[in-house]
Structure 1
Amino acid sequence: MSPRHRNGSNQAATAVAVVADVVAAVLALWILMYLLDANRANDLVAFVQDAARWLAGWSHDLFTFDAAWLRVVAGYGLAALVYLFIGHAVAGRLRRY
Structure 2
Amino acid sequence: MPTHTQAHSRGSTQAGRAVAIVADVMAFVIALWILLYLLDANQGNTLVDFIHDVATWLAGWSYDLFTFSRAWVQVVVGYGIAAVAYLVIGHAVAGRLYRH
Which bin holds the TM-score, normalised by the shorter protein?
A: over 0.9
Tell me the amino acid that sits aligned with residue 84 of structure 2.
Answer: L
Separation of aligned partners in 1, 2:40 and 2:66: 20
Which residue of the partner structure matches residue 21 of structure 2? 18
The within-5 A match list for 1:1-97 is 2-97=5-100
Offset at 1:58? 0.3
Query: SS in structure 2 opposite 1:60?
Result: coil
RMSD: 0.8
Separation of aligned partners in 2, 1:64 and 1:53: 16
The normalised TM-score by structure 1 is: 0.97
Q: List gaps (5 residues or longer) in structure 2.
A: none
Question: Aligned residues: percent identity?
Answer: 65
Highest Rg: 1 or 2? 2
Q: List gaps (5 residues or longer) in structure 1.
A: none
Aligned residue pairs, count:
97
Tell me the amino acid that sits aligned with residue 93 of structure 1.
Answer: R
Offset at 1:61? 2.3
The normalised TM-score by structure 2 is: 0.94
Separation of aligned partners in 2, 1:9 and 1:61: 36
Separation of aligned partners in 2, 1:64 and 1:23: 23
Query: SS in structure 2 opposite 1:76?
Result: helix
Separation of aligned partners in 1, 2:48 and 2:64: 19
Query: SS in structure 1 opposite 2:66?
Result: coil
Offset at 1:47? 0.2
Separation of aligned partners in 2, 1:28 and 1:22: 10
